[in-house]
């Protein structure tokens, strides 16, 4: 059973920063991809960033967040992070942590385990 618990959401003004965390069990870091997705009401969930939990920790990003968001992991804590800088109102969404049994972290449809989400609100 894979459990993913997000934290760190909140409200911030445009241009500000937030850091999300997702804690899981150490077994989850034995391989596969950990990732962050976001969803706004009425729209499909979209992949934001992914990281291969074993080996080199290779990362993937959606074009909309490249250069602003950084995904990272702490193997000792079995936790991944999403550092979000230069936030825009369009970044407002529910953010979900996810896990997929795949090496291709940008294949967003390969993620099949989800956390409950944490809300991020960016005001203009």
User: What is the per-residue pLDDT across 70-107, written as a single tens digit (0 to 9) for each?
Assistant: 999 998 999 999 999 999 999 999 999 999 999 999 99
Q: How far apart are the first and last CA of the chain?
A: 40
- Mean pLDDT in the chain? 94
The pair of structure tokens assigned to 122 is 């960016």
pLDDT band at 122; cut points 50, 70, 90 = very high
Task: Fill in the DSSP letter of residue 32.
Answer: S
Contact call for residues 3 and 112 (beta carbons, < 8 A): no
User: What is the per-residue pLDDT across 29-80, written as a single tens digit (0 to 9) for each?
Assistant: 778 999 999 999 999 999 999 999 876 789 999 999 999 999 999 989 999 9
- In angstroms, the CA 97 to CA 37 distance is 6
The pair of structure tokens assigned to 32 is 């596969």
């Amino acid at each position: 059973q894979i459990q993913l618990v997000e934290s760190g959401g909140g409200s911030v003004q445009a241009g500000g920063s937030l850091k999300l965390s997702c804690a899981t069990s150490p077994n989850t870091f034995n391989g596969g991809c950990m990732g962050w997705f976001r969803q706004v009401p009425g729209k499909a969930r979209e992949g934001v960033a992914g990281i291969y939990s074993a080996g080199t920790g290779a990362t993937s990003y959606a074009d909309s967040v490249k250069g602003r968001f950084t995904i990272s992991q702490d193997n000792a804590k079995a936790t991944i992070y999403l550092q979000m800088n230069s936030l825009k109102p369009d970044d407002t969404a529910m953010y979900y942590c996810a896990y997929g049994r795949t090496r291709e972290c940008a294949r967003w449809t390969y993620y099949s385990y989800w956390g409950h989400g944490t809300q991020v609100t960016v005001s203009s």
